[in-house]
A = this chain, B = another copy of it.
Amino acid sequence: MSKVLIISSDCHAGGLPANYEKFLPKKHHEAAGKWWVAYVKEMIARAGTFFDQEAMDDYAEKTGEHGQFQTFMQTSETIADDVLMNLLNDGTSPFSPRQGEWDAKVRLDELEADGVAGEVIFPQMAPFGAGLMQYRYQVDPEQNHAGLRAYNGWLAEFCNQNPGRHAGVALINLDDIEVTCQDIRDAKASGLFGGVLLPTSTGEFPFYHHPRYEPLWELCEELDMPLQTHSGWSPDYGDAPGATAMFISEVDMWAQRSFAALVWSGAFERHPNLKLILTETGTQWIIERLRVLEFKANLPIFNHFKKDLSLTPTEYFQRQCFIGASFLPVHEGQQRHKIGVNKIMWGSDYPHLEGTWPNTADALKTTFLDYPEDEARAMLGTNALDVYGFDQSLMESVAERVGPELSAVTGIAAQNGAA
């Protein structure tokens, strides 16, 4: 076809606080309300570093949302908790300001207008500290588990509103691996999830080189549920002036760590069909990371650690891993052959403002100009089609309707038939 199938391998969705109540046992409702208020107030208290004025001005220019954000910031410091909660449930919060985050109909329209046929959905903040920041906050473990299950329940229902168009990423925690495995079985059984979010931090538990996670690896292979990492977690840099700059400088690094752990734990060796997808952690970093791991693995001291491994770190990566490259900067795209065109999946990061939405067409032209057709198609859609198990004929029929012309992306008219 002349159109390009675009699957965004990196999008985000989350409900308004009230949306989760249906999926949360009654006994947690009051605590959940308090948790949201405390969380948002903490974010606001840090806004001086986290949402700095100049960045907000840039965003306002792009979106026209400045006034709403300012009002929220100014009033939320002084208003009563219940009024704040009402504002959050109106979608007035600067942390979830776009209706497409919780409204599946608005979302689909916006994705389609942006040229995107299918998407992979990562969380925003979920109740009780679940989601990308799992184990960053001190939370009651029972509440945290209820919170992640509530998110999964909400997300399943959300994905089900546009069947076949959204692959959810299910939340887990690591408190009890038997429970974790049951959560993954539930997610798989729903048919609405494309993967499992592997927490970036393991909190007080050992990191992923430890054998305690073996049942998790085994199950994810058995069910063909890819493991997912996604940047977002970091240690607490506090409120020093340089804190946000440090956060942004290091945030990818924390989410990249699981790769080495799965190599040295033998998880990739014992489970050759286990997949690990590293999303919004950058792209080019894997070249340097593999260089370091190969170098270290060739030190004499590694003979012992390698003795049960039949492949090298690079070979495990090529066999079992993928990079969710998000909005792939030009210079990272130029390194694609060093990584493997079949390893890279583009993503718009919808609805985040640092992503390409609603200007994806322009962004694609910038990065993919002069790419050979098969490379552009692989990175923009067909890699994700396979990895996340989207329905090919559904995706292609949607792409015929909403996708960009290949020539508008690469500057070159389509040569092939169907991708």
Contact with B along A287-302 (1 / 0, CB 8 A): 1100111011001111
Contact partner, A206, options B240, B293, B300, B301, Cβ 8 Å? B240
Flag if B252 contacts A240 (CB, 8 Å). Answer: no
Cβ-based interface call for A244 (8 A): yes
Cβ-based interface call for A336 (8 A): no
Of A51-59, A132-140, A185-193, the one with at least 4 CB within 8 A of chain B = A51-59
Flag if B58 contacts A292 (CB, 8 Å). Answer: no
**Which residues 201-256 of A sit at the B interface, judged by CB distance below 8 A?**
206-207, 209-211, 235, 237-238, 240-246, 248-250, 252-253
Flag if B52 contacts A249 (CB, 8 Å). Answer: no
Cβ-based interface call for A365 (8 A): no
**Which residues 257-272 of A sit at the B interface, judged by CB distance below 8 A?**
257, 260-261, 264-266
Flag if B250 contacts A264 (CB, 8 Å). Answer: no
Contact partner, A264, options B249, B252, B304, B329, Cβ 8 Å? B249
Cβ-based interface call for A305 (8 A): yes
Flag if A245 contacts B55 (CB, 8 Å). Answer: no
* Residue ID in chain B nearest A52 by CB atoms: B304
Flag if B282 contacts A266 (CB, 8 Å). Answer: no
Report how far A329 CA is from B287 CA in the complex, Å: 18
Flag if B249 contacts A260 (CB, 8 Å). Answer: yes
Cβ-based interface call for A95 (8 A): no
Give every chain B residue within 8 A of A284 (Cβ-Cβ).
Answer: 288, 291
Report how far A264 CA is from B305 CA in the complex, Å: 38
**Which residues 271-318 of A sit at the B interface, judged by CB distance below 8 A?**
282, 284-285, 287-288, 291-293, 295-296, 299-305, 307
Contact partner, A260, options B52, B250, B266, B307, Cβ 8 Å? B250
Give every chain B residue within 8 A of A54 (Cβ-Cβ).
Answer: 300, 303-304, 307
Report how far A340 CA is from B368 CA in the complex, Å: 33
How far is the CB of A58 from the nearest CB of chain B, in Å?
5
Cβ-based interface call for A354 (8 A): yes
Report how far A305 CA is from B307 CA in the complex, Å: 47
How far is the CB of A102 from the nearest CB of chain B, in Å?
25
Flag if B242 contacts A264 (CB, 8 Å). Answer: yes
Report which residue of A282, A291, A304 has the largest number of chain B beta carbons within 10 angstroms of its beta carbon: A304
Give every chain B residue within 8 A of A300 (Cβ-Cβ).
Answer: 54-55, 58
Give every chain B residue within 8 A of A241 (Cβ-Cβ).
Answer: 209, 211, 265-266
Give every chain B residue within 8 A of A243 (Cβ-Cβ).
Answer: 209
Give every chain B residue within 8 A of A250 (Cβ-Cβ).
Answer: 257, 260
Report how far A305 CA is from B54 CA in the complex, Å: 10
Residues A354 and B299 in contact in the complex (CB < 8 Å), given A53-B304, A260-B250: yes
Flag if A249 contacts B296 (CB, 8 Å). Answer: yes
Report how far A282 CA is from B288 CA in the complex, Å: 12
Give every chain B residue within 8 A of A209 (Cβ-Cβ).
Answer: 237, 240-243, 245-246
Report how far A172 CA is from B331 CA in the complex, Å: 41
Report which residue of A207, A301, A302, A329 has the largest number of chain B beta carbons within 10 angstroms of its beta carbon: A301
Contact with B along A8-20 (1 / 0, CB 8 A): 0000000000000
* Residue ID in chain B nearest A61 by CB atoms: B300
* Residue ID in chain B nearest A295 by CB atoms: B329
Flag if B207 contacts A237 (CB, 8 Å). Answer: yes
Report which residue of A235, A260, A287, A354 has the largest number of chain B beta carbons within 10 angstroms of its beta carbon: A260
Flag if A207 contacts B249 (CB, 8 Å). Answer: no
Give every chain B residue within 8 A of A260 (Cβ-Cβ).
Answer: 245-246, 249-250
- Given A54-B304, A55-B304, 6 other A-B contacts at CB below 8 A? A207-B246, A211-B240, A246-B264, A248-B302, A249-B293, A282-B292
17 contacts between A and B (CB under 8 A): A52-B304, A54-B300, A54-B307, A55-B303, A58-B300, A58-B301, A58-B303, A207-B237, A209-B241, A209-B246, A242-B265, A244-B301, A248-B299, A249-B260, A252-B292, A288-B288, A301-B354
